[in-house]
Each structure stands twice: as C-alpha cells, then as structure tokens.
Chain A
Amino acid sequence: MSQPLLEIRDATKIYRGGFLRPGQQLVALQNFNLTIPEKPATITAIAGESGSGKTTLANLILGSISLTSGQILYQGQDIATLSRRQKLEYARQVQAIFQDPYAVYNPFYRVKHIFDLVINNFKLAPSKQAARDLIEEALKMVGMRGEEVLEKYPHQLSGGQRQRMMVARAYLLKPRLIVADEPVSMVDASLRAMILDIMLRLRDQQNISFLYITHDLSTAYQVCDDIYVLYQGSIAEKGDTVSVIENPKHPYVQLLIESVPVPDPNQKWNTDVTLPSEEELRSQVDTGCRFYPRCPYHMDRCLVKQPPLYQIGSGDHQAACYLYDPAMPSAQAGLVENQAATDTK
C-alpha cells in the first residue's frame, strides 16, 4: 500500500470557553480515524445528524481550527507542521464547497470575481487570455459557458448554477481533494443529481477525491465509495457504502436508515420513533456508548466503556457496538442480530 492521500489519526477536538460555562467541555470529535487512499480517487461520505461533528471535521481538515489531540496527515505530512509554502500548496490541493450557494458570493461583484480571486491568489495564469481559458475549461466541466454566466451578478443565477460555479472554482485549482460540506442540501432534487454527477465525473476523469459531508444517507448511498457514520463525535459505523446502507449493524444507523421516508405510499412508516429529551441526550454519558439513552438493545456493559469498532463480515465494514463483540456468547449475538435485521425491514 502506498502512502494515503489523507490520513486522520486519533483526532479529538474539544471545545471550551466561549459561551460554555467555565470548566464545561464539548467533545465535538473523539478518537476519529480516517484514511483516503492516494489512488484511485474515492468519494468518502461523512454522515450524521447535526451536532455529530461533521462540520468540525471539515474545518479541521481545511485548517480553520486545530486539533486538541491527534494528527491529520496529508501525503504523510502533519498539516500542523507545514511551512508557509507548503501551507499554500495544501490550500490549493484541498478545496472546499459549502452548503449555501447563496452566502458564498459577494453580491456586489460579478461572478467572474470568484475566479479572478483564486487565479491571482495562486498565480495560475500568466495572462488574461490564459486565465480566461482556464475558467472556460473549468466551467465546461460543470456544463456551463463563460459568456452565459461570468458577467452576471450572483442574484441573476439560480441556486443550482451558483453551486456548479463553486464546483468549477474548486476544480480550477486542480485539487486532489475536495471537502464538500452538504453541497446538495439546498438545491432541488433534479439539480442535486446534476451536482452529484459532476462529483462522479471529477472522481473518474480528473482523479479528484471527495469528502462528502452530509446528513442525507440516500445521496451518500447513490455516489459514495466509503461511508463513516458519526454519532456525537464518534464513529458508529464505517465501511463500504453499499454494505453499510444495505445491511446496517449499529442500532443508530439502523434507526437512521429506517427513518428515511420511503417514496412509496403503499409502504408507510409503521413504527413510532420517540426522541429522549435534550439533556438526556447531551453529555449525560461521559463514559460508555453515547447512543445508550436511545438504544433499544442497551446493556450494562455499554455504560462502562465506549465500544471499539468491531469487524463485521470479511470486508472493511466495522461497527462500534458491543452486539458485535466476538467475545459475546455467539448464540445471543446471533439472536440480537436477527432481531435487529427484522426491525429494519
């Protein structure tokens, strides 16, 4: 195995201070590990509900906040120890696309401005004509033409066009990795498909990897190679997207998948979901499994220590749940697993 493109080792981020009471801590990310291979390019999903630490993870990778402990290695080098020059290069190779395609533009400038900025910043083109060619090429990748959009103001473009422009801007820099934080949650279903399709093309034709941060499991299922499902800062389940979504093992992931509305009026939701109150949910469980208050299968040992990731099957599918502890009496484990499987049906 060659060196991975991005490797996150034992990353922990704890927020303190600010509006939090003195001494109060908020663990946003805990002992998180992730690897994105150098080749081939992949789309990796980071899924979870709000407050699960997805955006913290994006900010950590983009370098806008720093880790409490652990390491983020880019091509083998810790991003906390990069030199100025290396930092600039890292900023070019790792790009970001954000959720809100309305908020990222300055309404006073023509949209061309976002391209001019990056071209000047990274000195990508020696002349105006070369710059224009670069922009046209990037726009072509997302199915747009310069003459149609560049001279317009942001308010003259639709949400889908704006989001495609953001992808084009990221692509312009020929990055190795694009961190896409909920890139399709604010566009319509038909345009959503278009943006996901662009992501697939960039992966296959341009060898650009994506970290696709989302709360929407169905789009992750459609396009992603690997998935990490976070619950309150820890990995609940990870692995190949198809096996995780089609055969979820962690009770939280089972609940998530069961809650995605089925687009079939003949197949109605038939169970009731209740949420425990907020204060029970948050940091009540200091040690042990954080899903304990909501888990239908909770056991005493879940409170003692946070479950490690247990191997599921033969692939890279892993779930952080004691139900899959090989040391558990096998008959009992099998029973619970069957029960869990029937519950998701």
Chain B
Amino acid sequence: MTVTLNGTKMDHGPARTPKVLEVQGLRVHYATPLGDVIAVNEVNLNVYEGETLGLVGESGCGKSTLAMSILRLVQPPGRIVSGQVQIHGIDVIALSEAELRQVRWSQIALIPQGAMNSLNPVMRVRDQIAEAIETHQGRRPPQELKERILRLLAMVGLPNRVYTMYPHELSGGMKQRVCIAMAIALTPSLIIADEPTSALDVVVQRVVAQTLLDVKRTLGVSMILIGHDMGLMAQLVDRIAVMYAGNIVEVAPVKDIFAEPLHPYTQLLLASIPSVKQRKPLVVTEGLTHDLRRPPPGCIFQLRCPFVMDKCREVVPPLRELRPNHYAACHLY
C-alpha cells in the first residue's frame, strides 16, 4: 500500500468533473460590541468529486469558520450573513433544521478540531459509533450493526478489540482514527477534517494521514482538509486554497502552488516552512496586523505585503485565473 497520489487526477476543470460542493459569495460575521468581525468575506469555493482540497492559513484567518458554516454550524455571535452553500445542488443555507439534519453526516461529515478529545469518556467505542449510525438511520439489527462497525474499524486500520474499548484505553492516533471511522459511518460524499493531525507526533500523524488517504481512495469521497502545515498539505491534497483574514487569496493545484506561488502571502507561507532537508535562515514576519472589524480599503494583505503598490491601497484585487486553473487575488499580475 502506498500513499502516492500520482494516480489521481490533478485536473479539475469544472466541465469535466461534477461538483460536490459549491460555495458562492459566503459571508460570515461575528458580532462584537465594537462592530462585526468579518470572518469569511465573499468566499467562492468549489470541491469536485473525489478530490481533496486543502484549506490553509494562519489561526484566526477564518478557515474553521468557513468549514463550520458549510454545515451551518456557526454558533452565535457568529452568523451567516449572505451566500449560498450547495451540496449536490441542494442549498444548505435555505434548508429547515430537520432537512439539514438529513444532510449533515449522511452527505457531509465533519471531523472537528480536537475531535479525538470529544469522544465520550464513559461510552465504549462501539456505542459511540452505533449512536452516530442510529441517530441518522434509526434502529438497526444488532448483528448488522456490529458487522458494520467492525468493517468501519477495519477500514481505518484499527484492530477488532477496539470495538469494546473505552477512549482512555486508546492512544491519540487511535482516537483520531475512531473519529474518522465515525465520519465515514454513513458514507458521506464530503468529509471536512479540521486539523485532523495536529497535536499528534510525526509518526502517528503520518499513520492518521495515511488512513485518511486510504479511506478517501476506498470510498471515493471528496475531502476538505484544514490545516496550516504546508508540508502535510503537499503530501495529502490535490488542490490548495489559501486564506488570509477571511479572504481566499489563491487557489491552485498543489503542484502549481508549490512550483509557482503567485500571491505574496502564499510565497511567505512557503518560505517559512521548516525543513529537515536544508538548514536555512528563519523567515520572520508579523502575524495578522489589521483590525478584522475595519479591514483596510483595497487589498487585505497590503499591510504585510513586500510588493505593496498604490493601487493595492485603493482597489480590492479580484480572484482571477492567472494560469490555467490557478487563481490568485493580486494586482501584481
């Protein structure tokens, strides 16, 4: 078994592959006493069938909020202000709560950040997975349920004995794999995984990453992987969307973005990857600089951009296709 992705298609022209998810003009605000924080600003995003999309950006850039709003799970004071989220053509934003419950988990599954710590400590693994299945599909015959759960555990590479174990008996990597098993329990067409391997050791991280890839291959699901580790993204995803302060600044196939990052922020992200192959000087930069309640007019990245021009302070650069399938929002091009 290998984790090579060379076999998968890199080209996702809209004409060829059907879309699983289509996000249009999505805007999410958080209400604060001093005005709204724009967490997600007019985001357009597509996920095609069978692809893994990486969503990267620093903490606070809105990537988790974007993921949560796709499932309409944004909690107050956050709210979806406008936009459309279509899953197989169904607009999630317009659904009633009851209809939405049908879509969640069976169409889109979420592995939230720190999922492994949200397992119920007093429930055996089998009961937690069974609960996820029965909540959505009603009571099942015990034998069928058991076989199904064991199949799910096998799919994420866990031995049968995990079936009767409690979460505290499992290591972090195993718990994370239980969460993946729960996410695929109802064979969704899209899995959103928020930092699925953070807080794990490198070797365990690699095992969990392999599990995700295997699951994706066997089930043919699409996936959105959220993270900030560009190294891990290079290994796992087909396309990358780079987010900065609520805006998507660049979207491209992973090979193109690593070969030729167009947006200055992406260039910065790639330059600051620590490597074990090459000892290089540190690239030091400031973090998020502007107040998210009052974004500057023009380009969102102007305060940190080394190439800032007068135009950047006035006109918002649109996300344009600068190379085939390679989109970036920058006035430089």
Residue A278 at the chain B interface, CB threshold 8 Å: yes
Residue A191 at the chain B interface, CB threshold 8 Å: yes
Q: Which of A131-139, A259-267, A298-306, A319-327 binds B?
A: A259-267
Query: Which of the listed residues A259, A265, A268, A271 has the most CB atoms from chain B within 10 Å of its own CB?
Result: A265
Interface residues of B in 278-309 (CB under 8 A from A): 279-280, 282-288
Interface residues of A in 157-197 (CB under 8 A from B): 158-161, 187-194, 196-197
Residue A297 at the chain B interface, CB threshold 8 Å: no
Q: Which of B92-100, B121-129, B225-233 binds A?
A: B225-233
Residue A277 at the chain B interface, CB threshold 8 Å: yes
Q: From the candidates A50, A159, A189, name the one contacting B228 in the complex (CB within 8 A).
A: A189
**B285 x A269 contact (CB < 8 A):** no
With known contacts A268-B235, A273-B206, A278-B171, A215–B255 Cβ distance under 8 A: no
**B207 x A188 contact (CB < 8 A):** no
With known contacts A188-B228, A262-B234, A268–B3 Cβ distance under 8 A: yes
A262 CA to B255 CA, complexed, in Å: 13
**A189 x B269 contact (CB < 8 A):** yes
Q: Which of A24-32, A63-71, A202-210, A217-225 binds B?
A: A217-225
Taking CB atoms, residues of chain B closer than 8 Å to A187 are 59
Interface residues of B in 207-229 (CB under 8 A from A): 207, 209-210, 228-229
Interface residues of A in 215-254 (CB under 8 A from B): 215-219, 221-223, 242, 245
Q: From the candidates A188, A194, A218, name the one contacting B58 in the complex (CB within 8 A).
A: A188
With known contacts A197-B284, A268-B235, A190–B279 Cβ distance under 8 A: no
Interface residues of A in 23-46 (CB under 8 A from B): none
Taking CB atoms, residues of chain A closer than 8 Å to B232 are 261
With known contacts A49-B204, A50-B172, A278-B170, A265–B282 Cβ distance under 8 A: no
Residue A61 at the chain B interface, CB threshold 8 Å: no
Residue B4 at the chain A interface, CB threshold 8 Å: yes
Taking CB atoms, residues of chain A closer than 8 Å to B275 are 218, 221, 263
**A275 x B235 contact (CB < 8 A):** no
Residue B274 at the chain A interface, CB threshold 8 Å: yes
A219 CA to B171 CA, complexed, in Å: 25
With known contacts A188-B59, A272-B210, A261–B2 Cβ distance under 8 A: no
Taking CB atoms, residues of chain B closer than 8 Å to A222 are 274, 279-280, 282
**A189 x B58 contact (CB < 8 A):** yes
**B272 x A193 contact (CB < 8 A):** yes
**A218 x B276 contact (CB < 8 A):** yes
**B258 x A190 contact (CB < 8 A):** no
Residue B60 at the chain A interface, CB threshold 8 Å: yes
Residue B260 at the chain A interface, CB threshold 8 Å: no
> Chain B residue with minimal CB distance to A241?
B279
A139 CA to B207 CA, complexed, in Å: 41
Interface residues of A in 266-320 (CB under 8 A from B): 266, 268-275, 277-278
A250 CA to B294 CA, complexed, in Å: 53
**Digit string of A2-39 for contact with B (CB within 8 Å is 1, else 0)?**
00000000000000000000000000000000000000
**B231 x A263 contact (CB < 8 A):** yes
**Min CB distance, B206 to chain A, in Å?**
4
**B203 x A264 contact (CB < 8 A):** no
Using C-beta atoms within 8 Å of the partner chain, give the interface range for chain A. 35 or more
A194 CA to B210 CA, complexed, in Å: 32
**A261 x B201 contact (CB < 8 A):** no
**Digit string of B95-139 for contact with A (CB within 8 Å is 1, else 0)?**
000000000000000000000000000000000000000000000
Taking CB atoms, residues of chain B closer than 8 Å to A191 are 58, 287
Residue B174 at the chain A interface, CB threshold 8 Å: yes
**Min CB distance, B268 to chain A, in Å?**
7
A222 CA to B271 CA, complexed, in Å: 13
**Digit string of B159-177 for contact with A (CB within 8 Å is 1, else 0)?**
1000000000111111000
> Chain A residue with minimal CB distance to B238?
A265
Residue A73 at the chain B interface, CB threshold 8 Å: no
Residue A79 at the chain B interface, CB threshold 8 Å: no
**B234 x A197 contact (CB < 8 A):** no
Taking CB atoms, residues of chain A closer than 8 Å to B1 are 272
**Min CB distance, B179 to chain A, in Å?**
17
Q: From the candidates B172, B206, B273, name the one contacting A269 in the complex (CB within 8 A).
A: B206
Q: From the candidates A256, A263, A278, name the one contacting B202 in the complex (CB within 8 A).
A: A256
Q: From the candidates B173, B254, B270, B282, name the one contacting A275 in the complex (CB within 8 A).
A: B173
A73 CA to B235 CA, complexed, in Å: 44
Taking CB atoms, residues of chain A closer than 8 Å to B173 are 275
Taking CB atoms, residues of chain A closer than 8 Å to B258 are 263-266
Q: From the candidates A50, A218, A264, name the one contacting B274 in the complex (CB within 8 A).
A: A218
**Min CB distance, B316 to chain A, in Å?**
23
**A221 x B3 contact (CB < 8 A):** no
Residue B325 at the chain A interface, CB threshold 8 Å: no
Taking CB atoms, residues of chain A closer than 8 Å to B205 are 259, 261
**B274 x A221 contact (CB < 8 A):** yes
Taking CB atoms, residues of chain A closer than 8 Å to B174 are 278
Taking CB atoms, residues of chain A closer than 8 Å to B270 are 263
**B234 x A265 contact (CB < 8 A):** yes
Q: A219-B274, A261-B232, A263-B234 are in contact. List 6 more A-B contacts (CB 8 A).
A: A49-B202, A189-B58, A197-B282, A218-B276, A245-B276, A261-B229
| Smallest CB-CB A-B distances: 8 pairs | A218-B274, A261-B231, A49-B201, A188-B58, A263-B231, A193-B282, A259-B202, A259-B206
Interface residues of B (CB under 8 A from A): 1-6, 58-60, 159, 169-174, 201-207, 209-210, 228-232, 234-235, 254-255, 258, 268-270, 272-277, 279-280, 282-288
Q: List 20 A-B contacts (CB under 8 A).
A: A158-B287, A189-B229, A190-B269, A190-B284, A190-B285, A191-B58, A193-B272, A197-B284, A200-B282, A216-B202, A216-B274, A222-B274, A222-B279, A261-B205, A261-B235, A262-B235, A270-B2, A270-B3, A272-B3, A275-B207
